Chains A and B, each alone.
Chain A
């Protein structure tokens, strides 16, 4: 009895297997690299042979690639990241009041009251402070991203960096480097700028109360955690599986869905070996001119996305995933 959760994000695809007591028995983190189909297949290849199809009692998908992933694997539930993260955090600790989640391309704040989501916000126009920006800065400074946080911990006096915008933050960093400030002070300064930016944009007007969970890939960065603690004035908890919280949430939600429906739609691990193709075209049916993407599995159409009217997406079994998404 295992529950499978897949979080197909912009930067990484995360996969977890939970046992019946919701302990993580398997977790895999794979870079999406713009190809969600391949990423899901790759992660399945790591499990194939070690687990049988019948071991999986439920399967859920989340993340920005949740729809496409659900068609590939036959998901029981397709859920947005906000709900998935909230469910996973509440399972761990019912007293969580705030979740700070920073992923590859977006950052979110989720407020929880009495064990239920009461408010949330997402970054709208700015991606400064998200994972891909930190990735890029680490690369530019020639520090592996894994050591980025530790490097900042050595800082004595963080330099003040303009963090309003990713492009300006970068130019300001270069400027500070050229003025001769030391690297760790600059990195810590950057982390503080990103936290300030997060609290001013995403967290604007939100009542951030402890206990705070810091989730998503960026939570691995110790200096970001410290910068948040300094700005908020209280402790911030980074859960053990912080990178996997989305997929853990999807797995838990899938378990609940199967309990209700009685059976799983999971298609099995063999998809790793199947041939998937996606084709895009512009529908000429009306003046909307929707851009439709078709997914083929070994030459057979398994799903369509992107049309407004349902002419294409209703043809295949995708429609069930829409229903399952709520």
Chain B
């Protein structure tokens, strides 16, 4: 058995740690690129959302390197993501690839017994003891959390750094170095090291950078290739950004969801505008918009793939929030046709607008 996973931000680093810890054979597909997207666009239905297409590219590229089993999270939720695994299986079969899918889903949807059975298909091939397996999982979760922490710090501090580009540079270096470590223990040590270095980046704490919250559909906000590296661009402009949606947030939220105590602040914040769960992360998107307004952000950018059903609903609600709270929100839709020139123009104009609004408020004319 040779397992693989689709890409989503830094998840591949934690996945590598998990597979190394379990001692199973694995392939990490090449980083998301135009090549992967081209493969996906060729084989996937034209109207399907962007993440589906990129993932097809990941699978095909991983299969070329010998992968025969895909591990992916599933969802029976009311959004097209729920159909992903079934459609991927059919599509790959039609292309003549023999691959197994291990779909990890919440116990609420498939039952605890089924979940354990599915997980044991992965862990069954591991030569390690039960204790070692749990340890490997714990380490992978820890690595994911550290990565998310470091990334969040870099995005926030980019607005305060004394030398423009130092946060971006360090973050990039961190990803490369950690991936090179291979052994989970070494990875954790390396991450702690970078976490410290991120804190030590010379910052001007009296700076008052423009602060923008990144909200929207979970895949497109986390996976930089899909959003044309928006966070890197904002770091280049010296903007401080914050994004709540991270892989570790998702894990925590999913684990907590049976208790209904997950993301309480978001649920509360979204109550006036969208009190229901309508699938995907539409309610979270609305809630985050309110929360970021409350915590003094200058504006928010919503990103979602073309045709994303839940986010279309939140996109329709966001202008009302923008008007009620006098809080600018820019919606960006991404798909394989997204032209970068117009995309950048919009981001730059939005940043300009936030800066000018502010200087205007100060000068008071």
A30 contacts chain B at the CB level, 8 A cutoff: no
B236 cross-chain contacts in A, Cβ below 8 A? 322
Q: How far is the CA of A122 from the CA of B333 in the complex (A)?
A: 12
Question: Given A124-B342, A326-B237, are A117 and B35 neighbors across the interface (CB < 8 Å)?
Answer: no
Q: How far is the CA of A115 from the CA of B364 in the complex (A)?
A: 11
Shortest Cβ distance from A106 into chain B, in angstroms?
A: 6
Which residue of A83, A114, A286, A287 contacts B352 across the interface (Cβ within 8 Å)?
Answer: A83
User: Across the interface, do B345 and A81 meet the contact criterion of CB distance under 8 Å?
Assistant: yes
User: Across the interface, do A117 and B232 meet the contact criterion of CB distance under 8 Å?
Assistant: no
A300 contacts chain B at the CB level, 8 A cutoff: no
Q: How far is the CA of A119 from the CA of B344 in the complex (A)?
A: 16
User: Across the interface, do A287 and B31 meet the contact criterion of CB distance under 8 Å?
Assistant: yes
Shortest Cβ distance from A122 into chain B, in angstroms?
A: 6
Interface residues of A in 279-326 (CB under 8 A from B): 286-289, 308-310, 314, 322-323, 325-326
B325 contacts chain A at the CB level, 8 A cutoff: no
Question: Given A308-B232, A322-B236, are A117 and B342 neighbors across the interface (CB < 8 Å)?
Answer: no
Question: Given A80-B348, A308-B232, are A117 and B238 neighbors across the interface (CB < 8 Å)?
Answer: no
Question: Given A289-B34, A310-B165, are A82 and B345 neighbors across the interface (CB < 8 Å)?
Answer: yes
B172 cross-chain contacts in A, Cβ below 8 A? 309
Chain B, interface residues (CB within 8 Å), range: 35 or more
Question: Given A82-B345, A288-B33, A308-B229, are A326 and B357 neighbors across the interface (CB < 8 Å)?
Answer: no
User: Across the interface, do B33 and A289 meet the contact criterion of CB distance under 8 Å?
Assistant: yes
Which residue of B34, B322, B328, B342 contacts A106 across the interface (Cβ within 8 Å)?
Answer: B342
Shortest Cβ distance from B347 into chain A, in angstroms?
A: 9
Shortest Cβ distance from A100 into chain B, in angstroms?
A: 16
Question: Given A124-B342, A308-B229, are A80 and B365 neighbors across the interface (CB < 8 Å)?
Answer: no
Which residue of A119, A287, A326 contacts B30 across the interface (Cβ within 8 Å)?
Answer: A287
B346 contacts chain A at the CB level, 8 A cutoff: yes
Question: Given A115-B365, A119-B328, A289-B34, are A82 and B349 neighbors across the interface (CB < 8 Å)?
Answer: yes
Which residue of A119, A323, A326 contacts B351 across the interface (Cβ within 8 Å)?
Answer: A326
B255 contacts chain A at the CB level, 8 A cutoff: no
User: Across the interface, do A326 and B238 meet the contact criterion of CB distance under 8 Å?
Assistant: yes
Which residue of B31, B349, B355 contacts A80 across the interface (Cβ within 8 Å)?
Answer: B349
B341 cross-chain contacts in A, Cβ below 8 A? 64
Which residue of A83, A205, A289 contacts B35 across the interface (Cβ within 8 Å)?
Answer: A289
A276 contacts chain B at the CB level, 8 A cutoff: no
User: Across the interface, do A286 and B31 meet the contact criterion of CB distance under 8 Å?
Assistant: yes
Q: How far is the CA of A120 from the CA of B346 in the complex (A)?
A: 9
A177 contacts chain B at the CB level, 8 A cutoff: no
B337 contacts chain A at the CB level, 8 A cutoff: yes
Q: How far is the CA of A310 from the CA of B342 in the complex (A)?
A: 21
Interface residues of B in 137-172 (CB under 8 A from A): 164-165, 168, 172
Question: Given A64-B345, A80-B349, are A116 and B31 neighbors across the interface (CB < 8 Å)?
Answer: no
Q: How far is the CA of A289 from the CA of B168 in the complex (A)?
A: 19
Shortest Cβ distance from A8 into chain B, in angstroms?
A: 11
User: Across the interface, do B349 and A117 meet the contact criterion of CB distance under 8 Å?
Assistant: yes
Chain A, interface residues (CB within 8 Å), range: 20 to 34
Between B337, B344, B345, the greatest number of chain A beta carbons within 10 A of the residue's beta carbon is seen for B345
Interface string of A77-97 (1 = CB under 8 A from B): 001111100000000000000
A125 contacts chain B at the CB level, 8 A cutoff: yes
Interface string of B325-338 (1 = CB under 8 A from A): 00010000100010
Shortest Cβ distance from B305 into chain A, in angstroms?
A: 13
Question: Given A64-B345, A326-B238, are A116 and B355 neighbors across the interface (CB < 8 Å)?
Answer: no
B353 contacts chain A at the CB level, 8 A cutoff: yes
Shortest Cβ distance from A323 into chain B, in angstroms?
A: 7
Shortest Cβ distance from B235 into chain A, in angstroms?
A: 11
Q: How far is the CA of A267 from the CA of B144 in the complex (A)?
A: 49
A326 cross-chain contacts in B, Cβ below 8 A? 237-238, 348, 351-352, 355
Q: How far is the CA of A120 from the CA of B319 in the complex (A)?
A: 12
Shortest Cβ distance from B6 into chain A, in angstroms?
A: 15
A120 cross-chain contacts in B, Cβ below 8 A? 346, 349-350, 353
Shortest Cβ distance from B101 into chain A, in angstroms?
A: 24
Shortest Cβ distance from A187 into chain B, in angstroms?
A: 28
Q: How far is the CA of A247 from the CA of B107 in the complex (A)?
A: 60
B356 cross-chain contacts in A, Cβ below 8 A? 83, 116-117
Between B30, B35, B333, B346, the greatest number of chain A beta carbons within 10 A of the residue's beta carbon is seen for B346
B360 contacts chain A at the CB level, 8 A cutoff: yes
Interface string of B26-40 (1 = CB under 8 A from A): 000011011100000
Question: Given A80-B352, A115-B365, A308-B229, are A287 and B345 neighbors across the interface (CB < 8 Å)?
Answer: no
A118 contacts chain B at the CB level, 8 A cutoff: yes
Q: How far is the CA of A114 from the CA of B342 in the complex (A)?
A: 26
Q: How far is the CA of A125 from the CA of B338 in the complex (A)?
A: 8
Q: How far is the CA of A81 from the CA of B342 in the complex (A)?
A: 10
Which residue of A119, A122, A286 contacts B345 across the interface (Cβ within 8 Å)?
Answer: A122
User: Across the interface, do A115 and B352 meet the contact criterion of CB distance under 8 Å?
Assistant: no
Shortest Cβ distance from B7 into chain A, in angstroms?
A: 11
A62: nearest residue on chain B (CB-CB)?
A: B345
Between A80, A310, A323, the greatest number of chain B beta carbons within 10 A of the residue's beta carbon is seen for A80
User: Across the interface, do A118 and B328 meet the contact criterion of CB distance under 8 Å?
Assistant: yes
Question: Given A80-B345, A82-B345, A120-B349, are A115 and B360 neighbors across the interface (CB < 8 Å)?
Answer: yes
A326: nearest residue on chain B (CB-CB)?
A: B237
B348 cross-chain contacts in A, Cβ below 8 A? 79-80, 82-83, 325-326
Q: Which residues of B contact A (CB under 8 A)?
A: 30-31, 33-35, 164-165, 168, 172, 229, 232, 236-238, 319, 322, 328, 333, 337, 341-342, 344-346, 348-353, 355-357, 360, 365
User: 12 A-B Cβ contacts within 8 A?
Assistant: A81-B345, A83-B353, A83-B356, A115-B360, A116-B353, A116-B357, A118-B328, A118-B353, A288-B31, A323-B164, A325-B237, A326-B352
Q: Which residues of A contact B (CB under 8 A)?
A: 64, 79-83, 106, 114-120, 122, 124-125, 205, 286-289, 308-310, 314, 322-323, 325-326
